[in-house]
Amino acid sequence: MITIYDTTLRDGTQREGMSLSVEDKLRIVRRLDDLGVHFVEGGFPGSNPKDIEFFERVRSLDLRTAVVSAFGSTRRKDVAAADDPGLAALLATGCDAVCIVGKSWDLHVTEALGATLEQNLAMVSESVAHLKAAGRTVFLDAEHFFDGYTANPGYALAVCRAAADAGADAVVLCDTNGGTLPQDVSRVVATIAPMVGAPLGIHTHNDAGCAVANALLAVEAGCTHVQGTINGYGERTGNADLTAILPALALKMGLECISRDQLHLLTEVSHFVAEIANLSPYAQQPYVGTSAFAHKGGLHASANDRLAGAYEHIDPAAVGNLARVVVSELAGRASLLMKAKELGIDLSADPAVIGDVLETVKELEHHGYTFEAADASLEILMRKRTGSYSPLFTLESFRCIMEKREDGRVMTEATIKLFCEGERFVATGEGNGPVNALDRALRLAIGRFYPALERIELTDFKVRVLDEKKGTGAVTRVLIVSDDGTESWGTVGVSENIIEASWEALVDSIEYGLTRGR
């Protein structure tokens, strides 16, 4: 059994630009509990009022699997364990588990702590013993262990033994600087595993791009406790990513960690934590990224359609993800058929339509369109070619006027003239930019006919200049993401005029949102 220890709420929040409120942290604890994580490190109770409040409130959660752990350090150099305020703060949280960090690199002991090597061994031993006597599950994070082992293997091992002899439930070997290579992690863990006298854990950072590999090889060499963070969040380049470690342990190595049913929640939890942290999910992230099982090349898509899994290293459903076909200029007929089927459109009965759509897609992408993130625009294109699409309105004209007002505000006014349900409408909207103003004017014009429009919200707007050498005359691509509370979708527009490109993407977005499911 491999014990999983999540430190997203403590180590993960040391990532630059990441901050979580108490309520955020409580919500993440609930989702990690659903995922089946065994221990969730909540933070450092002696460091700030936020973590103090978290530990007070987390007691009220009804957790089924996860045990909340508090993080701290060994006692101070000249203070007895029973009198140390840091250890007292750990016990005051009421947590059943605690994790304390201790120095295992002799350089840090003498230079950072200003202690003797013997004093540090006593600090480790007495701190663990004190916490164990209070009835807690105790983990010792042997900080900078691999660097310390390289410099002075005998002393680094002595620190681990001191913790083990005092009753530590696991001694966690930390690659704190993140620079150790996999072969060295494997060799060191295999060497010391029979010599420590307690279960070993692994805690790796990703500074050399090896955090996940180091964690997996450490398990293979004898570690039974793995620490990491969701999505690899952490200071500098991050920590070992549990969303890659968990499926590797369960599906690749056949080791017991979390259940297969819980593993199905992995993608959902990954995206949930990213959303709570206000960070964009990484599309190319292994296992849980939206592109992790996306097939763009025509050959791959065709082969995978004939033989499921031919181009997938696991079943995407095992981690709660989906296989997708991405239509682009690289697509073939098989890719297009698969994508159409995915979108609920049957093109198989009309080869001429397939060829027409395929050539249209390739021609549009040549001019700057991209449908990889614009499934809604692609579906509208397909429906137009099959004759199953009817526009909700017909544009007569639109114009945008920008003005800078006396109070300093810059506003845009958009006027739209269009025909809807056989009537001509003229509507004017104001906004903080042309897209905002056009969106408001369009809603005023057609909203009476389509009440569902109230639920559709533009959530993201991206602009990319495709040929910078042309300066202000360059072609611009606009991607819009919209949401109606149950689904989100992307649309695309391309033009030398950014307002025209925005209008194209906006119209697709509104029309798709109002007609999807019909």
Average pLDDT of every residue of the chain:
89
pLDDT in tens, 449-505: 999 999 999 888 888 887 655 555 578 889 888 888 888 888 999 998 989 999 999
Judge whether 220 and 186 are in contact, CB under 8 Å. yes
184 exposure class (CB count in 10 Å sphere: 0-12, 13-18, 19+): middle
β-pairing, 294-295 vs 67-73, is unpaired
Is the alpha carbon torsion for 30, 51, 214, 293 positive or negative? Answer: positive
**Closest C-alpha to 41, from 155, 121, 139, 184:** 139
435 exposure class (CB count in 10 Å sphere: 0-12, 13-18, 19+): buried
Judge whether 302 and 71 are in contact, CB under 8 Å. no
266 CB neighbour count, 10 Å cutoff: 25
**Amino acid, single-letter form, for residue 175:** D
Judge whether 159 and 124 are in contact, CB under 8 Å. yes
The confidence score (pLDDT) of residue 378 equals 83
Where do the H-state alpha helices sit in 59-116? 85-92, 106-107
pLDDT in tens, 219-233: 999 999 999 999 999
Q: How far apart are CA 246 and CA 256, in angstroms?
A: 10
Q: How far apart are CA 366 and CA 344, in angstroms?
A: 26
CATH 3.30.160.270 placement within the chain? 394-515
Domain 3-276 classification at class level: alpha beta
Q: How far apart are CA 249 and CA 224, in angstroms?
A: 11
406 CB contacts (<8 Å, ≥6 apart)? none
Half-sphere exposure of 154 (CA within 13 A, CB side): 2
Give me 479's structure tokens. 């991607």
Half-sphere exposure of 486 (CA within 13 A, CB side): 5
**Closest C-alpha to 108, from 168, 75, 162, 156:** 156
Q: Report the CATH number of the 394-515 domain.
A: 3.30.160.270
Q: How far apart are CA 161 and CA 468, in angstroms?
A: 61
Where do the H-state alpha helices sit in 307-410? 333-342, 351-366, 375-386
13 CB contacts (<8 Å, ≥6 apart)? 19, 20, 43, 233
Judge whether 493 and 503 are in contact, CB under 8 Å. yes
Where do the H-state alpha helices sit in 448-515? 498-515
Query: pLDDT confidence of 365, banded at 50, 70, 90?
Result: confident
Q: How far apart are CA 480 and CA 243, in angstroms?
A: 28
Query: pLDDT confidence of 298, banded at 50, 70, 90?
Result: very low
pLDDT in tens, 80-94: 999 999 999 999 999
**Amino acid, single-letter form, for residue 407:** D
Judge whether 269 and 229 are in contact, CB under 8 Å. no
The confidence score (pLDDT) of residue 7 equals 98
Q: Which residue has the higher pLDDT, 19 or 199?
A: 199
pLDDT in tens, 401-450: 988 877 878 889 999 999 998 899 999 999 988 889 999 999 999 998 99
**Closest C-alpha to 35, from 304, 343, 337, 250:** 250
Model confidence, pTM: 0.70
Q: How far apart are CA 512 and CA 508, in angstroms?
A: 6
β-pairing, 423-431 vs 410-420, is antiparallel
pLDDT in tens, 8-51: 999 999 999 898 889 899 999 999 999 999 999 999 997 678 88
Tell me how far CA of residue 141 lies from CA of 78, 168, 202, 296, in angstroms. 21, 10, 9, 44
Give me 366's structure tokens. 């040549």
Give me 373's structure tokens. 């993130």
Q: How far apart are CA 79 and CA 335, in angstroms?
A: 68
Q: How far apart are CA 510 and CA 25, in angstroms?
A: 35
Q: Helices 375-386 & 351-366, crossing angle to 10 degrees? A: 140
Q: How far apart are CA 7 and CA 52, in angstroms?
A: 17
Q: How far apart are CA 448 and CA 451, in angstroms?
A: 6
CATH 3.20.20.70 placement within the chain? 3-276
Judge whether 348 and 337 are in contact, CB under 8 Å. yes
